[in-house]
Amino acid sequence: MPTTYEPAEVPGWPAYAFVVQDSGRVAVSGPLLPAAEHPTRASAVDAVAAAAVGLGRPVRAQATERDGTVWHLVISPDGAVGELSVGARQGRASKKRTAQGRAARRPDPGQAQPAPEPASEAPVAAGATTPQALCDAVDRLDAYAAAGRADEAESLAAELDEHAANALGLSHPDALLVREARARITGQAGDAVGGVLLYRDVAERWHYRGAHGQAEAVADRAQALWLEIADLATAVAAGVSVVRMRNQIPGEGGSAFAAAVEHQARLEAARDAAAGAAGPRRAAVR
């Protein structure tokens, strides 16, 4: 039977990118696999299915056609290709891969239905599905933050992010710009860890789309925000995500990845030293 998966059913990591070249070959990249080009779509799907076997569950994949059309797919360990629903109003039944290895398809993201109007501050997000409307909405959010309305800006940014993802797709370029704005506002509101995680998600999605310049720029923002976290335990926890991100987006010559690993090691050493120093004092109190 055709299979459609809801986003909650398939973890966001790992996710893979299929990019169809002018030659017809398919470039595949993503965690747990060496980047490679495959002669057919079927062999590209088989490569990702092998990674799914190791995890024992389906994984996400984003396929980009030569004309720029993007499909949000789910690859099962047995090589079946399903479709990732990008919100209830976009859901369509997917097609499993045929013997000839044809991947499932979905409608053009540009034809998606807009999401329902948010309950609060509707003018900020309602109908904001065109690039200009989204830019205007993001400008208003930044204005709220600049005016000291941080909590309100953060709440509305979350609404706009959800709205853009439902209407356009989680990895649509305009939706990623909205999520990046949410990451910025979240960090400004004092939630540095939340901001780091949002930036990381955006950076990885740009990476899977093959937009390496955007991926590096957003990864740099994630890493810079991480460096601002003063609490050792919190910084160490956030550092796990940053190091994982930099393993995929390592920077020129791997320099950013190396810097992230070194900083995480220093944080862990400082945390362990602090825990060791605190131990004898607790014993003395007892």
Enter the pTM of the model.
0.55
The pLDDT value recorded for residue 53 is 84
- Is 239 in contact with 94 (CB distance < 8 Å)? no
The pLDDT value recorded for residue 264 is 95
The pLDDT value recorded for residue 220 is 96
Regions of the chain with pLDDT less than 50: 1-2, 87-127, 282-286
Residue with tokens 């998600």: 201
- On the question of a cis peptide bond just before residue 14, with omega within 30 degrees of 0, the verdict is yes
The pLDDT value recorded for residue 243 is 94
Closest by alpha carbon to 268, among 244, 242, 237? Answer: 237
The pLDDT value recorded for residue 154 is 87
Q: Are strands 81-84 and 4-5 parallel, antiparallel or unpaired?
A: parallel
